Structure 1
Amino acid sequence: MSYDKTALINRYRWYELVGIYAGIALFLTFVLAPFVEGFLVSLKPLSQLFSSPYRFWPENGSFDAYFTMWDSVPGFARYIFNSFFISTIATLIVLLLVVPASYAFARFEFKGRGQLLGAFLAVNMFSGAVLLIPLFRLMRTMGVLNTYFAMIVPGVAFLIPTAIWLLRTYMMRIPRELEEAAYVDGASYFYTFRRVVLPLAMPGIAVVAITTFICAYAQQFIFALTFNSKTEYMPLPIGLFAYFGRQEVIWNELMAASFVGIAPAMIVIFFLQRYLVSGLTAGAVK
């Protein structure tokens, strides 16, 4: 059965299409403008950043800041590695805990399930700054200050509730009949979970993994300042903060370092974006 792929588009009048595309263009302008401006700032010499009148496009722009930034903050590559390492380990721990927990919340009825889910949701309403002092005392008692552990564990604790809610919703869309058929054939709960549920839940797991990695990459500043004082364990946000001097801010190198610092996260998103899209749209026609 053939159909015209442009049928839905042709339903709109020309001025409606103009309005739709104008709205999309306006939205993209607001979303992309900060990134474009930040990139252009990284190409400008410091003398042009505060010139009057302001020039949007750099005059005699160059990529010098992308080379000099490494000398302004020694060990900047270590900051990037630390952020990537902390985010990766935190994501793996979250997935290890959240995948079975989400399946249990999606499939099994047990006392206090609703209250526990509500408690998970309530955790997201509190800022991490509220719990800094109790967490600091806990970390000091455990003797893990100035380690990767001190930043990974609090990050995991704040990321688990959101991950459970996201993955639980996805697993609820998986037909129960598939699991019941496996039970009839004599499969155990664990075998059914491993061989039936997990393959079907991979798009949802990919979405949770990507969002968790991004959040873990972005939330390290306050934990690093509180639980670490050693440079070798500091993440990227602390390295970026080093460009704020007492007398001036090296804005062009700061912008260059920001783009270099987020490159690992962008590479991960680029290679996993097809899983992200499939995970967000999977189940829409079930």
Structure 2
Amino acid sequence: MIDRYTWYEYAAIYAGIAVFLFFVLAPFIEGFMVSLKPLSRLFSSPYSFWPQEGSLTAYFTMWESVPGFWRYIVNSLFISTTATALVLIMVVPAAYAFARFPFPGRGPLLAAFLAVNMFSGAVLLIPLFRLMRQMGLLNTYWAMIVPGAAFLIPSAIWLLRTYMMRIPRELDEAAWVDGASRLYTLRRVILPIAMPGIAVVAITTFIGAYAQQFIFALTFNSKTEFMPLAIGLFAYFGRQEVVWNELMAASFVGIAPVLILIVFLQRYLVAGLTAGAVKT
């Protein structure tokens, strides 16, 4: 029998969830309210949470304030999609190798992957800049794609490796008995079963690549045609006056593609996270 919670335990649990959601969602709710307020009322006293004379005007005027706004969104989507594809190409065979083959140095290498995630991209900007310059990648899309993918690969390997470890080894052995090579086994036996886990890795990698573009784009790119959305919005702060309602409106339009992706793919995300929970 599973012990049931008492009423005050339920109250404490839901109160904790409510506090957590408040701190997570409050900045987004406040930012959305700011986007609806006229600029003249943003700093009025006393403060009013609900927008008085609120409208969607900022969502229309911000297109003129940010020239090439659509270009910035397309750049961000292209960088994120390409980085995700590059990560999957590298991670799928690597995760399979780490999950199946006890080769020398596997443990230290996995630990090194975790250590990489402890470093911020800002720490490695100078060596990365020198590397990008030597490779001739400055002021190109690849200057943002390659470093972004490199920082996302370690966590993706850990996530997908854990999923693949829950796939029965008997499937590999049966394929080998039938004469299948390891590459054929990965492609025809393991990949179809691992698709939920791969979907989780793809979604989390895309979100991570979409969110980390600012620092790499600011350092490795100076051409407008390659700028992602984060740098396009950063141009607001180069003015004498920041139009906060238009800035918030542009920010919400910019994150809309990721929100749409999560809404439509959340069932695959949940399925991938739970599919490997029980080992068969």
What is the TM-score when the length of structure 1 is the normalising length? 0.93
Of 64, 67, 70, the match for 1:71: 64
How many angstroms does 1:283 deviate by? 2.1
Residues 243 and 173 of structure 1: CA distance in aligned 2, closer, same or farther (over 3 Å): same
- The one-letter amino acid of 1:85's match is F
C-alpha distance in structure 1 between counterparts of 2:62 and 2:215, whole Å: 23
Write the deviation string for residues 120-166 of structure 1: whole angstroms up to 9, x where unpaired.
Answer: 11111222112211111221122221110111111111111111111
C-alpha distance in structure 2 between counterparts of 1:136 and 1:154, whole Å: 10
C-alpha distance in structure 2 between counterparts of 1:15 and 1:126, whole Å: 42
How many angstroms does 1:116 deviate by? 1.5
Write the deviation string for residues 97-123 of structure 1: whole angstroms up to 9, x where unpaired.
Answer: 100000001100112211221221111
Q: Give the structure 1 partner of residue 55 of structure 2.
A: 62
Of 108, 116, 132, the match for 1:115: 108
Q: Give the structure 2 partner of residue 4 of structure 1.
A: none
How many angstroms does 1:90 deviate by? 0.2
Q: Give the structure 2 partner of residue 3 of structure 1.
A: none
C-alpha distance in structure 2 between counterparts of 1:111 and 1:17, whole Å: 49
3-state SS in 2 of match to 1:242 = helix
Residues 141-156 of structure 1: pairs in structure 2 closer than 5 A: 141-156=134-149
Structure 2's unaligned 5+ residue stretches are none
| Percentage of matched positions with identical amino acids | 81
How many angstroms does 1:27 deviate by? 2.3
Of 28, 37, 48, the match for 2:21: 28
Structure 1's unaligned 5+ residue stretches are 1-6
Q: Give the structure 1 partner of residue 98 of structure 2.
A: 105
Residues 195 and 22 of structure 1: CA distance in aligned 2, closer, same or farther (over 3 Å): same
Q: Give the structure 2 partner of residue 222 of structure 1.
A: 215
Residues 142 and 20 of structure 1: CA distance in aligned 2, closer, same or farther (over 3 Å): closer
How many angstroms does 1:177 deviate by? 1.2
Of 198, 214, 230, the match for 1:237: 230
Of 5, 28, 43, the match for 1:12: 5
How many angstroms does 1:203 deviate by? 1.0
Of 199, 204, 211, the match for 1:211: 204
C-alpha distance in structure 1 between counterparts of 2:126 and 2:20, whole Å: 40
- The one-letter amino acid of 2:204's match is T
How many angstroms does 1:231 deviate by? 0.3
C-alpha distance in structure 2 between counterparts of 1:251 and 1:25, whole Å: 28
- The one-letter amino acid of 1:114's match is G
How many angstroms does 1:245 deviate by? 3.9
How many angstroms does 1:176 deviate by? 0.6
Native 8 Å contact 1:79 1:235 kept in 2? yes
Q: Give the structure 1 partner of residue 162 of structure 2.
A: 169
C-alpha distance in structure 1 between counterparts of 2:79 and 2:229, whole Å: 10
Native 8 Å contact 1:243 1:253 kept in 2? no
How many angstroms does 1:8 deviate by? 6.8
C-alpha distance in structure 1 between counterparts of 2:100 and 2:196, whole Å: 18
Q: Give the structure 2 partner of residue 201 of structure 1.
A: 194
* Corresponding pairs, count: 279
